[in-house]
């Protein structure tokens, strides 16, 4: 995350007010300070300013895609409007809710966990059935590739204890063989972690999702992996319901492989502080061990 200085925030407020004078005198709050954009909130409205030309292109593409998706997707999605100018920005109504993170999820009972899983399974099922050519016409492109296997191996091994080296090598070996062929290629969300969810912590329900800038064409199994940032328990519940909705078998080990590769890639890329990235890998290995019986049981039933 990148910090935003006071002078930049004042400029963003001035840009909003120059385009939308009804916000004169209103209080703006910095909602997030991400790598690609800065988000401000005022009176239930969200304003996003891209940090670069590339980010602006992605944000403009997202506006077009959401316009295409909203009538086709059951889940509540943002309805952004693009404001052109020397420093363009988007505006949309906030979907009420907060992040869905691991502690909040683990505090839920089975009924609410299942309700969230069904909402997300339906989202993925509806996205994945969209005709690729039609979504491409709406602006979709291929998702960004992850780090190359050799770079993951070289960057992660030196930072991890020796007892985890076999896990790294097994993961990289399997990751190296991954292909996207046939109906494995889908249009998907590819950012379905808890920081992009509007979770009602009073009712335990999911009100909607947002941030489709990373959506695009890619692997069906990779798209189903991002909820592992919340909990592998949630991912397995999503897959169970997704299979029922789509009549399509999902390889749970393959979904988990994508998360393993991403955890190691973040460590290798030094995207996070090393201590945090190492802890993420160690925690994920423990979580994988804990869900092995559930995965094995699902495989026997297929």
pLDDT at 1: 45
Average pLDDT on 45-59 reads 93
**Domains in the chain: ranges and CATH:** 6-93 (3.30.200.20), 102-301 (3.90.1200.10)
**Distances from the Cα of 34 to the Cα of 4, 45, 140, 268, angstroms:** 10, 18, 22, 21
Q: Which residue has the higher pLDDT, 37 or 184?
A: 184
pLDDT digits (tens, 9 = 90+) for 96-146: 999 999 999 999 999 999 999 999 999 999 999 999 999 999 999 999 999
pLDDT at 103: 96
3-state secondary structure of 205: strand
Q: Tell me what the pLDDT averaged over the chain comes to.
A: 94
Q: How confident is the model at residue 8 (pLDDT cuts 50, 70, 90)?
A: confident
pLDDT digits (tens, 9 = 90+) for 241-270: 999 999 999 999 999 999 999 999 999 999
- Provide the percentage of residues in the chain whose pLDDT is more than 70: 97
pLDDT at 4: 58
Crossing angle of helices 165-176/252-268, nearest 10°? Answer: 110
Segments of 97-196 assigned E as strands: 185-188
CB 67 within 8 A of CB 137: no
The span from the CA of 103 to the CA of 80, in Å, is 30
* Rg, Å, the chain Cα set: 20
Whether residue 81 has pLDDT greater than 80: yes
Greatest pairwise CA separation for the chain in angstroms: 62
The span from the CA of 67 to the CA of 78, in Å, is 9
């Amino acid at each position: 995350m990148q910090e935003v200085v006071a002078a930049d925030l004042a400029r963003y407020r001035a840009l909003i007010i120059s385009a939308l004078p009804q916000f004169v005198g209103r209080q703006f709050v910095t909602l997030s300070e991400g790598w690609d954009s800065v988000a401000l909130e005022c009176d239930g409205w969200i304003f996003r300013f891209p940090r670069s030309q590339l980010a602006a292109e992605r944000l403009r593409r997202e506006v077009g895609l959401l316009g295409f998706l909203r009538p086709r997707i059951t889940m509540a999605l943002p309805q952004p409007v693009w404001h052109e100018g020397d420093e363009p920005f988007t505006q949309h109504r906030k979907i009420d809710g907060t992040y869905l993170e691991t502690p909040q999820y683990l505090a839920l009972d089975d009924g609410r966990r299942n309700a969230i899983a069904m909402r997300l399974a339906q989202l993925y099922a509806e996205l994945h059935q969209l005709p690729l050519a039609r979504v491409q016409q709406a602006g979709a492109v291929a998702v960004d590739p992850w780090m190359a296997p050799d770079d993951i191996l070289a960057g992660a091994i030196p930072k991890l204890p020796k007892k985890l080296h076999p896990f790294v090598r097994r993961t990289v070996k399997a990751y190296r063989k991954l292909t996207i062929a046939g109906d494995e290629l889908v249009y998907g969300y590819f950012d379905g972690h808890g920081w992009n969810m509007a979770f009602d912590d009073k009712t335990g329900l999911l009100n909607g999702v947002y941030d489709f800038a990373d959506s695009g064409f890619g692997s069906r199994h990779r798209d189903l992996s991002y909820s592992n940032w919340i909990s592998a328990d949630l991912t397995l519940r999503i897959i169970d319901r997704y299979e029922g909705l789509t009549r399509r078998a999902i390889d749970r080990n393959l979904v988990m492989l994508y998360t393993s590769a991403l955890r190691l890639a973040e460590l290798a890329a030094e995207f996070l502080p090393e201590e945090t990235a190492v802890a993420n890998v160690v925690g994920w290995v423990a979580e994988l061990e804990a869900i092995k019986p559930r995965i094995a049981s699902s495989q026997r039933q297929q």
